[in-house]
Amino acid sequence: MSHATHSNAALTPRARLRLGQLVVDHDWPIARAAERYDVSWRTAAKWAERYRDEGAAGMVDRSSAPHHQAGRTPTRVVRRIVSLRLRHRLGPVAIGDLLGMQASTVHAVLVRCRLNRLTHIDRVTGEPIRRYEHERPGDLLHVDVKKLGKVPDGGGWRYVGREQGLRNRSATSRRTGAPKSKYHHPLIGTCYLHTVIDDHSRVAYVEAHDDETKETATAVLRNAVAWFAARGVTVRQVLSDNGGAYRSYLWRDTCTELGITPKRTRPYRPQTNGKIERFHRTLVDGWAFKTFYPSETDRLAALSPWLHQYNHHRPHSAIGKVAPITRLDNLAGHHT
């Protein structure tokens, strides 16, 4: 059995054991054993004593972490810091000023309590956001629309610079016949990404469209339900924001037809649909702006391969660093 050894250690665990055996079991002088293994007398004595007390099990490195932290912030002070953070949403500097403490100490406490980011705290109630996860695939789908400006022919300003990017936009606008904005800026249109996320598995389904009408939204829902059904998943509920498409009679009737219960987030509470918001950030960073695309057609062509990578190969930190598709265990007949 191998053991991890400190990179600067003079002896391996096996050599420490042999040294200890020579001194304790074979009565070698410590000085002779130290010379034999080319270490100091102090080092040889330490491992010999460790072998005498603990045997072979004592030959591995011990943690250098202190058993007690003398300077740790008292519990009553931690409670006061947490209270100020939750009730008044104050930062480390303001809290430190009120309590007569260093801001760095306050920040360390907030990190330890997972309150260092205000996104961890509900904006309305001031309470820490409680994460939830439905038990089975299909118990709840999150739906939303992500809007992205289309890529002009020749590439966008992020990669070709603002001056060239503006020329590319103008040329694309003329080619497509798109009208100019009221400020006379060339328009090239918006890509509406209709996204669907399974709450349990985080498996994603995405379609790109030119609008976010109720007709398009319901068509995407039908396609997504069929896509999940082909993978053994029965959809039971769908959660959306309060957009017009999701408040329509068509959306309600479509959900009824599909046997799905529609749910909507509370107004001004986007964190209720936080899983899909987080997916949108991953989508933008990993696909939309990840690399140079010479046109919108090229970017859309890269969407399907990226989605496959996300669903089948990319480890997801929120589900134990496994690929989302591995959680669709309906495929094995677990939920029939």
Angle between helices 103-112 and 92-99 (to 10 degrees): 120
Q: Are 246 and 218 in the same domain?
A: yes
Tokens of 237: 């509920």
Question: Is residue 164 assigned to a domain?
Answer: no
Q: Are 276 and 306 in the same domain?
A: yes
Question: Is residue 266 assigned to a domain?
Answer: yes
Res 2: pLDDT: 45
Checking if the pLDDT of 270 tops 80, the result is no
Buried b (16+ CB within 10 A) or exposed e, 53-66: eeeeebbeeeeeee
Q: What is the CATH number of the domain that holds 205?
A: 3.30.420.10
- Enclosing domain of residue 27: 13-58
Res 336: pLDDT: 38
CA distance 38 to 193: 67
* Cβ 50 vs Cβ 56: under 8 Å: no
Res 65: pLDDT: 66
Res 263: pLDDT: 92
Residue of 29, 30, 36, 31 lying closest to 15 (CA atoms) = 36
* Residue-wise pLDDT tens digits, 107-166: 999 888 878 776 656 555 555 555 567 778 999 999 999 999 899 988 888 888 888 888
Q: Are 197 and 303 in the same domain?
A: yes
Res 60: pLDDT: 85
Q: Are 301 and 215 in the same domain?
A: yes
CA distance 148 to 66: 51
For residue 242, how many other CB atoms are within 10 A of its CB? 12
What is the 8-class DSSP label of residue 245?
A: G
Question: Is residue 243 assigned to a domain?
Answer: yes
Res 307: pLDDT: 96
CA distance 77 to 80: 5
Res 334: pLDDT: 42
Q: Are 32 and 111 in the same domain?
A: no
Residue of 193, 203, 192, 194 lying closest to 140 (CA atoms) = 203
Q: Are 146 and 282 in the same domain?
A: yes
Res 315: pLDDT: 87
CA distance 327 to 288: 26
Q: Are 193 and 312 in the same domain?
A: yes
Question: Is residue 102 assigned to a domain?
Answer: yes
* Residue-wise pLDDT tens digits, 25-84: 999 999 999 999 888 999 999 999 999 988 888 888 877 666 666 667 888 899 899 888
Tokens of 191: 């890509």
Question: Is residue 218 assigned to a domain?
Answer: yes
In sequence order, what are the beta bridge partners of 237?
261
Q: Are 207 and 318 in the same domain?
A: yes
Res 147: pLDDT: 94
Tokens of 213: 């009408």
Give residue 169's pLDDT band: very low, low, confident or very high (50, 70, 90). confident
What proportion of the chain, given as a percentage, has pLDDT over 70?
A: 83
Question: Is residue 86 assigned to a domain?
Answer: yes
Q: Are 203 and 318 in the same domain?
A: yes
In sequence order, what are the beta bridge partners of 207?
194
Res 335: pLDDT: 39
Q: Are 145 and 88 in the same domain?
A: no
Provide the number of structural domains found in the chain.
Answer: 3
Question: Is residue 130 assigned to a domain?
Answer: no
Res 120: pLDDT: 55
Q: Are 229 and 276 in the same domain?
A: yes
Res 162: pLDDT: 84
Checking if the pLDDT of 215 tops 70, the result is yes
Instruction: Show which of 26, 58, 90 is a domain's final residue.
Output: 58
* Residue-wise pLDDT tens digits, 281-311: 899 989 999 899 999 999 999 999 999 999 9
Question: Is residue 328 assigned to a domain?
Answer: yes
Q: Are 270 and 323 in the same domain?
A: yes
- Contacts of residue 275, defined as CB under 8 A and 6 or more positions apart, other chains included, come to 142, 197, 199, 202
Checking if the pLDDT of 227 tops 90, the result is yes
CA distance 58 to 11: 13
Res 5: pLDDT: 57
Mapping DSSP to helix (H, G, I), strand (E, B) and coil, where does residue 261 land? strand
Checking if the pLDDT of 7 tops 60, the result is no
Checking if the pLDDT of 223 tops 70, the result is yes
Residue 274 sits at the vertex; the CA angle it makes with 80 and 139, to the nearest 5 degrees, is 120
